[in-house]
Amino acid sequence: MATQTDPTPRIPLTRERVLRAAITLADAGGIEALSMRRLGQELGVEAMSLYNHVANKDDVLDGMVDAVVGEINDIVSEIEMPSGDWVTAARRRILSARSVLLRHPWAPGVLESRTNMTAPMLRYFDGLIGLVREAGFSVDLTHHAMHALGSRALGFTQELYDDSDDLSDEAMMMFLQQMSGEYPHLVGMVQEISHDDDSTLGWCDDQTEFEFALDLILDGLERLRAAG
């Protein structure tokens, strides 16, 4: 008898495991799929047991964000930096951060709902600040730069319009025809753009638009740096 091991020994619940399960849940079903009860269920435990390892749901969300930003920091720290070209260096960091966030679509929304900076975020921004300071940015310009980049520094911007469930091409054309009276400039733009493009899919390439705006800002900042 004595200490015969259980046939399926229960892995002990830890904060780590809770957060990992929460991220998996959110990755798969979106953030609205994440409830304390569902999370407990996923871990084979009652929801109330979770409170032995996390303070509350906000603590879970904080932990999830920290894990994702930690993932970003891991990648960024391995990037080799071309010295003397801060624009390329910053660009690489930011696009790397973006690639991580694309795997966690819920992360931007949760990130924006947290108002306090946590250690991993401080670390990320400390690195970016160091980069531009080394490139000769004044303290003031550095400060403005961080605000101008905002969430874009971490690789995301909230889109105001989601074209993921857009109309078919024919339905779209009919819709535009009807709307051209009220919104002539908008409809004109959409029609011309979708005409140029052969793709049946959405007419906005988020990656292209993100990079366009990023380059616009980085170029502007470089101009201000050079002007002194």
Residues of the shown chain interacting with a copy of itself in the complex, contacts defined by CB under 8 A: 111-112, 115-117, 119, 121-123, 125-127, 129-130, 133, 139-140, 142-144, 147-148, 150-151, 154, 157-162, 179, 182-186, 188-189, 192-193, 204, 209, 212-213, 216-217, 219-221, 224
Can you spell out the DSSP letters for the chain? --SPPPSSPPPPP-HHHHHHHHHHHHHHH-GGG--HHHHHHHTTS-GGGGGGTSSSHHHHHHHHHHHHHHHHHHHHTTPPPPTT-HHHHHHHHHHHHHHHHTT-TTHHHHHHH--S--HHHHHHHHHHHHHHHHTT--HHHHHHHHHHHGGGGGT----S---TTPPPHHHHHHHHHHHTTT-HHHHHHHHHHHHH---SS-S--HHHHHHHHHHHHHHHHHHHHHH-
Residue pointed to by tokens 């798969």? 28
CB 22 to DNA: min, Å: 10
When binding is defined by CB under 7 A, the residue of 35, 77, 138, 200 that contacts DNA is 35
When binding is defined by CB under 7 A, the residue of 16, 24, 29, 56 that contacts DNA is 56
- Judged by beta carbon, residue 23 or residue 65, the one nearer a copy of itself is 65
- Binding range to DNA, per CB under 7 A, among 31-39, 73-81, 93-101, 196-204: 31-39
Examine residue 144 and tell whether it contacts DNA (CB under 7 A): no
CB 41 to a copy of itself: min, Å: 26
- Judged by beta carbon, residue 52 or residue 77, the one nearer DNA is 52
CB 146 to a copy of itself: min, Å: 8
When binding is defined by CB under 7 A, the residue of 34, 65, 154, 218 that contacts DNA is 34
CB 10 to a copy of itself: min, Å: 37
CB 5 to a copy of itself: min, Å: 42
R_g of the chain, CA atoms, integer Å = 23
Examine residue 224 and tell whether it contacts DNA (CB under 7 A): no
Calpha distance 228→168 (Å, rounded): 51
**Residue 122 partner contact from a copy of itself, DNA, none using kind-dependent CB cut-offs of 5 to 8 Å:** a copy of itself
10 Å Cβ neighbour count for 92? 16
Examine residue 53 and tell whether it contacts DNA (CB under 7 A): yes
Please give the residue ranges that form the binding site for DNA (CB under 7 A): 12-13, 34-38, 40, 45-49, 51-53, 56-58
